[in-house]
Amino acid sequence: MSIFFIAEIGINHNGQIDIAKQLINVAKEAGCDAVKFQKRTIDLVYSKDLLDSPRESPWGKTQRAQKEGLEFGLKEYQEIDRYCKEIGIEWFASAWDLESQKFLGPFNCRYNKVASALLVYEPLLKSIAAEKKHTFISTGMSNVEHIDRAVEIFRQAGCPFELMHCKSTYPMDDEDANLACIQTLKEKYKCKVGYSGHEVGLAVSYAAAALGISSLERHITLDRAMYGSDQAASVEPAGLRMLVGAVRKIEKAIGDGKIGVQAKEVPIAKKLRAHIAWDEASLVK
């Protein structure tokens, strides 16, 4: 099965629906399978003290102004839903609180996502699992006990899921990727395992693809120099096209692992072995 490619827009739209649409177009043109956003109820996710604290941003001088400036509401998500259907790409979002998960429900997206930060929030896990939609579960900032419990919740609910190996640093240093965990997760949980990357560049994602992941998620941006905490760990349009194209080639190159002579090799073998005595009939066994 082909790797499911998720273009994580997150909050890189900077509160502007036109930028969101541009990013959706970038993902579609690059050959991604879906785009993903993030949804928060500001007063549930952040404390009043934090929201009242100072922060300079394009939207004002407080944390609240910045958080609210980045958050899309019903009107924007209705337009995202309409636009994605128009151009033919799936969309979904990671909810950061129970109200946000309820907010997303009426859109009937095909997928759910558990962000690494929320993997330990059991009420949200149970709410998502109850929907029984295929769910991508990121494992950043989590130990074995945390992942065990999340897997238990989803299996008890009969909800299809896959884990996504992840390291929650932005951007992530290459030496911190620990891609060997992909195989560890496969063996321990007997499930599909994807990769959610926050590194700069493409090499680590190529390596993850070669390790047999089922899904690949990368943040995307129009320009890494744009305002926003996720921009530096994001892939620009040209890089995304390169990444998707290379991953599709890697998928083809992996093959089925069966040892044998390919039909294309037969005439070459006959030519290059013409000077020695050998059993040509063995080529077709």
- Measured CA to CA, the distance from residue 283 to residue 263 in angstroms comes to 9
Domain 4-257 sits in CATH 3.40.50.970:
no
Q: How far out from the chain centre does Cα 225 lie?
A: 22
**Alpha helices for the chain (secondary structure H):** 17-30, 42-45, 48-52, 63-70, 74-87, 98-104, 122-130, 144-157, 181-189, 203-210, 237-254, 266-272
pLDDT tens sequence for the chain (285 residues): 799 999 999 999 999 999 999 999 999 999 999 999 999 999 999 999 999 999 999 999 999 999 999 999 999 999 999 999 999 999 999 999 999 999 999 999 999 999 999 999 999 999 999 999 999 999 999 999 999 999 999 999 999 999 999 999 999 999 999 999 999 999 999 999 999 999 999 999 999 999 999 999 999 999 999 999 999 999 999 999 999 999 999 999 999 999 999 999 999 999 999 999 999 988 876
- What global pTM score does this model have? 0.95
Tell me the residue type at 180. A
Per-domain boundaries in the chain: 4-257
